[in-house]
Amino acid sequence: VAAEAAAGKVAPLDDPGRSIRVDLSRRFCGICAVEHVRPARRGAESAPVNLPSHRFVVVLLGLALAASTARAAELSVDVLDMAGRPARNVVVIATPKTPLPAAARSAAMVEMDQIDRQFSPYVLAVHTGTRVLFVNNDSIAHQVYSFSPVKRFELALYHGTPREPVVFDRPGVVTIGCNIHDNMLGYLYVTDAPWFGTTDGKGHWRAAEVPAGEYEVQVWSPLLPPQDATLTQQIVIGAAPTRASFKLTHALRPEPAPIKDKRVRDY
């Protein structure tokens, strides 16, 4: 929701690499209608085309058309583990190289549940400032806490919905635990990036209406060794849907298993 809200409010950049090849060091921003100056990119898409001056107006017209019809595109990311199988619950964030005008965000509230003595989802990506409600769906009480420097908190033993959400106001990784059930482990990935999420069961994540431009796409999983938990790719988003795919370079540890048998009491 946050990503779409941001995408709706931020005009995409045109992509000369896919539409008209002109001087790529200058772009128009569709929303503020001023020219943003940025360095030329390398590669085929940056190859300049010498255009006859009498056709310049036509080119400008084309540029305007391109800007109005193909300002944003879908970004989809696939994450595979070392064996080539889909990797789920992997955080994906896309950060534009050129800062986009900050979109007005309503303070979002999301839920991280506790089901069968485990956090669900196991990993949740949220934008900085998001309020998270740790809802207990189990019949037994939980005592959710974190000792992560990014956000330390403790929720006294509770059933159902806690009284207050927890505000995650600084970016970073927050490890979530339950003081009663040491097997419970979850993660919040708090980010300033305008596009973020986690991969589904097919190792897939997508964002619609991502403004064209250059992006740094990162994937992160708590199940990777901490020093190798992040992978980064530079991608360019144009008018057409853009795909990026990551293959993890380290084996994923197994996710903590839920305890479905209500009789189990050894925590």
Partner 1 sequence: MLSRATRMLAWIAYLIPGVVAAHEITAQADLRAVIVDSPLDSFAEGGTGELRFGGDDDGLRLGALMIDASGELIDTVRYDITARATGDGDQNPIDLTEAYLEWRPYPSSVWRWKTRAGAFYAPISLENRAVGWDSLYSISPAAINTWIGEELRTIGVETSLTLLGAAAGRRFDVSVVAAGFGWNDPAGVLLFQRGWAIHDRQTALFGELPRPLIRNPRIPNIEFFDEVDHRAGYYAGLEAKISGRHVLRALHYDNRGDTNKEDGREPTWLTKFDALGARLEFPHDVTAIAQFMQGDTAFRPSADGRGGMINDFDSWFLLLSQQHQAHRYTVRYDRMNTTTVRGARFIDSHQDADAWTVAYLFDLSDHWQFAAEAIQLSGSLRQRAVLGLSQSATERLLQIAARFTF
Instruction: State which residue, 36 or 262, has the beta carbon closest to partner 1.
Output: 262
Q: Encode 147-207 in three state secondary structure.
A: CCCCCCEECCCECECCCCCEEECCCEEEEEEECCCCCCEEEEEEECCCEEEECCCCCEEEE
* 4 is a contact residue toward partner 1 (CB under 8 A): no
Among 12, 30, 177, 213, binds partner 1 (CB under 8 A): 177
Instruction: State which residue, 28 or 145, has the beta carbon closest to partner 1.
Output: 145
Residue 89 tokens read as: 């619950």
Q: Is 150 exposed, middle or buried (0-12, 13-18, 19+ CB in 10 A)?
A: middle
Task: State how far the Cα of 236 lies from the Cα of 243, in Å rounded to an integer.
Answer: 10
Residue 10 tokens read as: 């931020």
| Residues near partner 1 (CB under 8 A), total | 33
Instruction: State which residue, 71 or 181, has the beta carbon closest to partner 1.
Output: 181
Site string for partner 1, 235-264 (x = CB under 8 A): ------------------xx-xx---xxxx
Which residues, in sequence order, are CB contacts of 185 under 8 Å at separation 6+?
Answer: 118, 119, 122, 175, 176, 177, 256
Among 33, 42, 182, 201, binds partner 1 (CB under 8 A): 182
Among 180, 208, 235, 236, binds partner 1 (CB under 8 A): 180
Half-sphere exposure of 195 (CA within 13 A, CB side): 31
Name the minimum Å distance from CB 253 to partner 1.
Answer: 6
Instruction: State which residue, 186 or 211, has the beta carbon closest to partner 1.
Output: 186
* 229 is a contact residue toward partner 1 (CB under 8 A): yes
Residue 193 tokens read as: 């990036």
Among 63, 185, 208, 235, binds partner 1 (CB under 8 A): 185
Q: How many CB atoms lie within 10 A of CB 155?
A: 18
Site residues (CB under 8 A) for partner 1, limited to 99-118: none
Amino acid found at 141: A
Instruction: State which residue, 197 or 222, has the beta carbon closest to partner 1.
Output: 222
- From 4-12, 47-55, 125-133, 221-229, span contacting partner 1 (CB under 8 A): 221-229
Task: State how far the Cα of 79 lies from the Cα of 87, in Å rounded to an integer.
Answer: 6
Name the residues that contact partner 1, by CB under 8 A: 140-141, 143, 145, 147, 152, 154, 156-159, 175, 177, 179-180, 182-183, 185, 222, 224-226, 229, 253-254, 256-257, 261-266
